[in-house]
Amino acid sequence: MEQQPTLRVGSAEQAGTRGGFALIEIVCVLAIIGLLAAIILPAIPRATSRAKLESYAVETAALLKADRSAALRRRIQVVTRVDAATRSIRSGVSGRVIRLPGDVSLNTLLASRCADRSAGASIDFFPSGMSCGGVIALTRPGIGYEVRVNWLTGGIDIVAQKPL
C-alpha cells in the first residue's frame, strides 16, 4: 500500500495570511513619498548649468547689439546700465532687464570716463557706432564667459574664460 500525502487545513490558511503587502499599503507609501518630494525638491537650490550660463552671455550680447543698432539707426547716444551689485543689465532703449541668478557673479571692466562724463556703471553707444567699450564677465565656479565691447568699433564678442 502506498501512503498518500495528507493535507492539513490549517497550513493552507496560514500560508495565505503571511503573504506580502496589501495594495493599499503600497499606494499609501508611494503617496507619502510623493508628498515629501513635492515639499522638499523646490527648496533645493539648483546651480546654473553651463548651457544656461552661455545663454545669459548670448542674451547680454544681444541686448548690447540692440542698443548699438538703435544708436546707429536713431542717431542718438544710448546708455546700457550694468549693475554688478544686483547682477542686472538694463537696456538704454527698450528698458529690458537681464537679471542673473545668485550663483552667477557679474564682474565688469568699464571706462571710468566716457564722452567727458563719468561712466563707471554703463556702456555708452554713440551715433557713429563707437562706444565706451568694456567687458562684462559672467562666471560661476569652474566656468565663465566674457562679453566684450570694442571701444572703437562698438563690436560685441563673447569669449569663454578658462577655468581656474
Higher local confidence (pLDDT), 77 or 117: 77
List pLDDT tens digits, range 68-116. 999 999 999 999 999 988 989 999 899 999 999 888 989 999 888 877 7
Query: Which of these CATH numbers, 2.60.120.260, 3.40.190.10, 3.20.20.80, 3.55.40.10, describes 50-161?
Result: 3.55.40.10
Radius of gyration of the chain (CA): 32
Mean pLDDT in the chain? 85
Q: State CA 79 to chain mean position distance.
A: 25
What single letter denotes the amino acid at residue 20? G
Residue 27: which residues within 8 A CB-CB, separation 6 or more? none
Question: Considering the chain, what percentage of its residues have pLDDT values greater than 70?
Answer: 86
Taking CB atoms within 8 Å and a gap of at least 24, the contacts of 84-93 are: 84/108, 89/60, 89/63, 89/136, 91/63, 91/66, 91/67, 92/67, 92/122, 92/125, 93/66, 93/67
Nearest-angstrom CA–CA distance, 63 and 17:
70
- 99 DSSP β-pair partners: 88
Q: How confident is the model at residue 6 (pLDDT cuts 50, 70, 90)?
A: low
